[in-house]
Structure 1
Amino acid sequence: MQKGWEMFREHIGEFIGFTLVIFVASAVSSKMGVFGSLLFSALAAPLYAGYSVAAFRLVSGQPLQFSDFFKGFNYFLPLFLAGLASGILVAVGMALLLLPGIYLAVGYILTTFLIIDHRMEFWQAMETSRKIVTKNWFAFFVLAIVLFLVNLLGVLALGVGLLVTAPVTACAAAIAYKEIVGLHSAEW
C-alpha cells in the first residue's frame, strides 16, 4: 500500500483529475435512468483500467500523460466481456453458497491486468488469473480485504475520500501484480 501511496502522491494532480472524470461520468449517467446505468456499466471497466495503465507506465519508469488514463479503452471489448462474465459467475457463486462467489471474486482479481499487459482475451485472462491466485488464494484474499477497507474509509469520508483511496488502491493492486506476475509488455 505504501508504494501505491507514493505513486499517487508523486502524480496527485493527474490521479485526482482522472478520478473526478470517473465521478462526473458516473453522476451524468445516473441522471439518465436505466440507459445511463447500462452505459456506465459498459464504460466502468475501461475507465478503471486507466489506473492500471498509468501505474504500469510509472512502475516502468515511463512518463505519465493524462491521456494515458484513457488507454483502457484500447481494451474495451475484452474488459467489458470480462466484467460481464465475472460479474455473472460471482453473482451465481454468491447466490449458491456465498463461498464460491468469494472464491471467484478474489480469483479474478488479476484479470484486468492480464488483459492490458498480456493482451489476453477475456476468458483466458479470467482463467489465468484464477489459476495464479489459487496458488496463494488467502494472500490475495487479504489484499482484496485491505483494498476494500481502504476504499470504505474513502466512502465514509463523505465519498470525497475516494478521490485519494480509489487511485491509491488501484496503484497498490497494479504494483502487487507487477511484483507477483511481472510486467510482460512495455507499452500499454
Structure 2
Amino acid sequence: MSKEKLAVLRAKGYDFDIQNLFERAWGMYRIQPLLNASFTMLIISANLLAALYLKDYAFLYSLFLAPHLFSGFYFVANKFSQGQQVVYPDFFKGLSFYIPIFSVWLIGQMITALGFVALVIPGVYFLVAYNFAVLMVIFGGFDFWTALEESRKLITVRWGKFAVLVIILIVINILGALLFLFGLIVTLPISYYVTYILFEDLTEDVFAEEGSGQSSYSSGS
C-alpha cells in the first residue's frame, strides 16, 4: 500500500524549502546539544582511530559499523519530531536494524561506485537519489532493494533541487572538518536532521496508516 501512495506522491509532485529545513534541523540540534556533540565526537574518534591504527582494516569499520552509527541520528530525529525525550542510547538504535541498514548501505554504495567507474554521471545521479534509502528501510519497512528504488524514484521527481541540497550538505561538512574537525560536531548531526525532516515532510501521510514508518516506530520507542 505504501508503494502505491508513494507513486501518487510522485505523480502529484512536491517542493521543499532548503532554508526552512536547516532552520528546523538547527532547532532539533539545540534540544539536546550535549548529546548531539558527544555522539558526534564518538563517531569522529572512531573514524580517526580506525584510520590511524587499523589502516589495513579501516574499510571494515566503514562497512560494518559506521552506517549504523550514522543512522542513529535518524532515530533521534524521529523522537525529536514526536516531542519525545531523547537519551544517549537512542543514538545506537541503528544497531537494532543491523542487517537492513548494512544491506541497503552496501548495495547502494556499490551501485554508486559502479556508476562513477562507468560514466561518472550515473554515479552522481545515484549518490543523490539514494539519500532516502536508509530511511525507507527504517521507517518504511521496505527490503533493501525496494528501499533503494523507492528512494531513487521519489528523489528523481526533484533531483536537481536535491542535488543542490546535497552539495550544500557536503560543503558545510567540509568547512566543519577544516575547523580542526570541531565544526563537524554541529554540521554532521544537522546534515542528518535535514535529511530526516525532508523525508518526514514528504512521506508522513504515506506511512501514517501503514502500521510501519514514523508513527509506528515512535509509538514503540
TM-score, length basis structure 2: 0.81
- When residues 114 and 166 of structure 1 are mapped into structure 2, their CA distance, relative to the original with a 3 A threshold, is same
C-alpha distance in 1 between matches for 2:172 and 2:61: 27
Unaligned runs of 5+ in 2: 1-21, 208-212
Contact 1:25 1:40 in 2 (8 A): no
49-58 or 172-181, which deviates more: 172-181
C-alpha distance in 1 between matches for 2:122 and 2:62: 27
- For 2:149, the equivalent position in structure 1 comes to 127
1:139 alignment partner, one of 161, 167, 171? 161
2:89 alignment partner, one of 64, 67, 76? 67
Output one character per residue of 1:125-157: Cα deviation in whole Å (capped at 9) or x when no partner.
101100111111112111111111111110121
C-alpha distance in 2 between matches for 1:123 and 1:79: 11
C-alpha distance in 2 between matches for 1:25 and 1:158: 16
Shift of 1:33: 2.8
Shift of 1:108: 0.3
> Percent of counterpart pairs with the same letter?
30
Contact 1:81 1:122 in 2 (8 A): yes
C-alpha distance in 2 between matches for 1:104 and 1:47: 22
Shift of 1:87: 1.1
C-alpha distance in 2 between matches for 1:18 and 1:136: 32
- For 1:21, the equivalent position in structure 2 comes to 42
- Matched to 1:11, the amino acid is Q
- When residues 36 and 141 of structure 1 are mapped into structure 2, their CA distance, relative to the original with a 3 A threshold, is closer
C-alpha distance in 2 between matches for 1:74 and 1:143: 29
Q: How many residues align?
A: 188
1:54 alignment partner, one of 76, 79, 97? 76
- For 2:5, the equivalent position in structure 1 comes to none
28-37 or 154-163, which deviates more: 28-37
- When residues 185 and 50 of structure 1 are mapped into structure 2, their CA distance, relative to the original with a 3 A threshold, is same
C-alpha distance in 2 between matches for 1:34 and 1:82: 24
- When residues 91 and 103 of structure 1 are mapped into structure 2, their CA distance, relative to the original with a 3 A threshold, is same
- For 2:102, the equivalent position in structure 1 comes to 80
- Matched to 1:9, the amino acid is R
C-alpha distance in 2 between matches for 1:18 and 1:75: 18
TM-score, length basis structure 1: 0.94
- For 1:91, the equivalent position in structure 2 comes to 113
Contact 2:78 2:214 in 1 (8 A): no
Shift of 1:107: 0.8
- For 2:138, the equivalent position in structure 1 comes to 116
C-alpha distance in 1 between matches for 2:165 and 2:44: 25
Unaligned runs of 5+ in 1: none
1:180 alignment partner, one of 166, 177, 202? 202
C-alpha distance in 1 between matches for 2:91 and 2:111: 28
C-alpha distance in 2 between matches for 1:45 and 1:120: 17
- For 2:210, the equivalent position in structure 1 comes to none
Q: What is the RMSD computed on CA atoms of the aligned residues?
A: 1.4
